[in-house]
Amino acid sequence: MAIKLYWCRGKGRSDPSQQNFGDYLSPLLVEMLAGKPVVYAPINRAEMMAIGSILPRERKAKRFFLPHRLHIWGAGTDAPGLSFSARHHYHALRGVKSCEQVIGLRGSPALGDPGLLANHWWGGKARPAKTHKVGIIPHYVDRQHPAIIDASKQPGVLLIDVFWPVEEVLRSIQACDFVLSSSMHGLIVADAFEVPNRRLRLSSGLISDFKFVDYYSAFSLNEPEPLCSSALERLIRQDVAELIGEYVRPGLSGLQAGLLRSFPFF
């Protein structure tokens, strides 16, 4: 019996070239860990949700106008001041901020974004050689930003498209010494493969800042100050390692182990 999973499909529902790799990593990971096929289901018919800032969708988890319970594994919030029902099975949540918004949350769910298990999905496949100094991963709203276009022309830079197939994005991230990303799952997958990285903030107001705060709270970290477009302009004359600064993700292996232990089998 296939698992009915909800994930954010966006325009990818009708156009495969618009499938955001971070969202479409969700069914791949769930299928790998469950050992069962996964099918997309709208939230009112789904059994489970995983990767993404999709916790607010839990309000629509109703059948015949009656609330039903979801298995929630690693989903997160996207804004302050929200509240979510505790009726669901909370196996894992992306961060501390998500936990704080579940009113009457029982127990202590595992913490972390399931994208941190991208290295487990990669498994025993050969790791690609390092071919580029820095990978730049723009959020889809930033793809045509002038600073992105200019930076992509510099030597040693690999521009990674969030709409590439999941495996291609994972391979490309591993092939870089460093990653700069305005896509949150660009940062998360880089963390999974322990590629030093830092967030770019290019389109202020268009991308939730709170979801980044939530993600880093799982590591008991404040979010590192994001870099702005001028950082990309300095790539030619400044070492990218200096731009990224100190790179630490305390407890990464513990978060990964907790996500694996908490995966729901139903």
pTM value is: 0.96
Q: Which domains does the chain have, with CATH numbers?
A: 3-119+255-262 (no CATH), 124-252 (3.40.50)
Mean pLDDT for the chain overall: 95
Cβ neighbourhood burial of 169 (10 Å; 0-12, 13-18, 19+): buried
In the predicted model, what is the mean pLDDT of residues 115-125?
Answer: 97
Residue-wise pLDDT for 96-118, tens only, equals 999 999 999 999 999 999 999 99
Per-residue pLDDT of 25-72, as tens digits, reads 999 999 999 999 999 999 999 999 999 999 999 988 876 667 789 999
For residue 234, what is the DSSP state? T
Taking a C-beta distance cutoff of 8 angstroms, is the pair 180, 202 a contact? Answer: no
pLDDT of 92 above 90: yes
Which residues touch 249 (CB under 8 Å, ≥6 apart)?
Answer: 191, 194, 219, 221
